[in-house]
Amino acid sequence: MTLVGTHTFTNPVIAGMHPDPSVCRVGDDYYLACSSFEYYPGVPILHSRDLINWTQIGNALERPAQLALPPSTPSSGGVYAPTLRHHDGRFWLITTNVAPGGGTLIYTADRAEGPWSDPVRVPVEGIDPDLVWDDDGHCWCTYAGIWQVRIDPRDGRVLSDPRKLWSGSPGAQAPEAPHLYRIGGRWYLLIAEGGTERGHAVSIARGDSPEGPFEPCPANPILSHRGSGRPIQNTGHADLVQAPDGSWWMVLLGVRPGGGTPGWHVLGRETFLAPVTWQDGWPVVGELLPEMPAPWPVTPPEPEATRDDFDQAGLRPHWLSIRSRPDSSWSAGDGWLTLHARDRSLDDPCVTFVGRRQQHRSCTVRALVDAGAGRGGLVVRLDENHHYEVEISDGEVRVTARLGSMRHTSPVLPVPSGPVRLRIDIIAADGGDGHPRQEPDMIRLGTETEVLAELDGRYLSTEVAGGFTGRVIGMYATDGTVRFDWYDYEPG
């Protein structure tokens, strides 16, 4: 996100929980979509002119009719691995909602920022669906397995029996995330394999038809950091795009583990960018580094606003809620964000919550909170069973840590009546002394002037809690009404 100079950039290009990236180019503009899991609205849509600086311009799924995530939807369920394409003058998005009543769904829009259509259901069983059209106008849907059917994307009808295309490299688990491309007269099938943990990899095969048969690349996997000590790990789930100058690029997910052994990633899976060249008809992925040479002169973006004063009636597109955001649960526009409690605890599936992704290893979050008519505060959330919160109610502030079946609450701090400034500092560990159990970061919670708890950050990581998501830091209400005058996220 941060540019080091006009001819270098830093990876990830989209920091924080932005996994399973899918990209397409329309003229000089690039558009990218990511998984959103149990969060609402779903499928963030980002825009760039240089593949490096990305701005979120909306969310594809922002109406209840588009996205149903009932309370029984598990954390790390919900919306998986969208594919975003532009065809015949329209944007097409296909994804899987891994939730009761979900399934494989197609959405369309005239503009990437929306509005997007209500879903068209496709009766296929599988995640990570892809869309591609051949020269005859036939539309092919390929999905994890790796399986394929021909469909009519306008009404979702399946027009052929499912057929197995390729199983990936011998012995590699979880062939998934397929994308098909017509490049230079051949069809290329790009997949992820090895699982989305440290063994993750990108492999490719080619054939003369979208139906195959497919010949695997002799250099597979064409990208993997498994078994290495590189700072970027879990590299996989990629998509290819060609720039206007003819160069090729790969967007992919990866993580940045911190601390000792085995390394804990806390921001979730992020979006990285790598160059691609072609040799003997096969793509060759360039080295993927935290600092990369820029392919062209890059203009640094305007500094991103860190503070929200809630002066507008709506919410900016980066704000997330958990499973739904009923109109009755919130309001904004008078200089306050007002939250009305639904569920009674952050352990509950539909707690009233508005938050944003943690995007920096070190950051400070502050908010001015009026809980005179309720109970609420700030929380660092991974899922219902793993969260740290600083809360105010009845003139007292306390910190609670929920870690699986365990819960710990700090001594209370009495505060005067009226709004109170709550604060969370996340402080990444330095290089340390190499101890294998060094924590990835420390999370400090309290008020602007008093620290109530300092907690080990490894317990809010995927390696401890499991799942597919990263941290989200936000505001919540678990009783009555809680108001927030402002929220400030400051990178460390």
Of 231, 219, 174, 166, the closest CA to residue 199 belongs to: 174
Catalytic residues: 20, 176
Backbone torsions φ then ψ of 327, nearest 5 degrees: -55, -30
Using CA atoms, how far apart are residues 435 and 202, in angstroms rounded to an integer?
A: 32
- Structure tokens belonging to residue 475: 């505001």
Residues pairing with 239 in the sheet: 251
Residues 6+ apart with CB under 8 A from 57: 45, 46, 47, 112, 113, 317
Q: Is the peptide bond before 178 cis (omega within 30 degrees of 0)?
A: no
Of 109, 62, 54, the closest CA to residue 314 belongs to: 62
- Structure tokens belonging to residue 429: 């560990």
The secondary structure of 324-336 as a DSSP string is ---GGGEE-SSS-
Using CA atoms, how far apart are residues 440 and 119, in angstroms rounded to an integer?
A: 40
Q: Is 57 exposed, middle or buried (0-12, 13-18, 19+ CB in 10 A)?
A: middle
